Amino acid sequence: MNGVILDGDSLGQDIDLSPVTNCFNNIEIFGSTEPDEIAARIIDADVVLTNKIRLGPDELKHCRKLKMISVMATGTNNVDLAYCAKNNIQVCNAKGYSTPSVVQHTITLMLALSTNLISYQKNVKAHAWQQSNVFCLLDHPIQELSGKTLGILGYGDLGRSVADVARAFGMNILVCERPGSKSADTKERIAWQQMLPQVDYLSLHCPLTPDNEQIVDTSALALMKPTAFLINTARGGLVNSLDLITALKKGVIRGAGIDVLNTEPPSTDEILLAEDLPNLVVTPHNAWAARESRERLLLQMVENIRECQNNHFPRSVLAGY
Catalytic-residue membership of 235: yes
The one catalytic residue in 41, 105, 178, 235 is: 235
| Burial (0-12, 13-18, 19+ Cβ within 10 Å), 172 | middle
Is 144 one of the catalytic residues?
no
Alpha helix segments (H runs only) across the chain: 18-21, 38-42, 57-60, 81-86, 99-114, 117-125, 157-168, 192-195, 218-223, 241-250, 271-274, 291-309
Q: Are strands 201-204 and 149-153 parallel, antiparallel or unpaired?
A: parallel
Q: Is 219 helix (H, G, I), strand (E, B) or coil?
A: helix
Which distant-in-sequence residues (6+ apart) come within 8 Å of 122 by Cβ? none
Rounded CA Rg of the chain: 22
User: What burial class does residue 214 get, using C-beta atoms within 10 Å of its C-beta: 0-12 exposed, 13-18 middle, 19+ buried?
Assistant: middle
Residue 226, number of CB atoms within 10 A of its CB: 10
Q: Which of 178, 254, 285, 315 is catalytic?
A: 285
Q: Active-site residue among 62, 144, 167, 264?
A: 264
Asked if 162 and 205 touch (Cβ cutoff 8 Å), the reply is: yes
Is residue 160 annotated as a catalytic residue, yes or no?
A: no
- Which residues are designated catalytic? 235, 264, 285
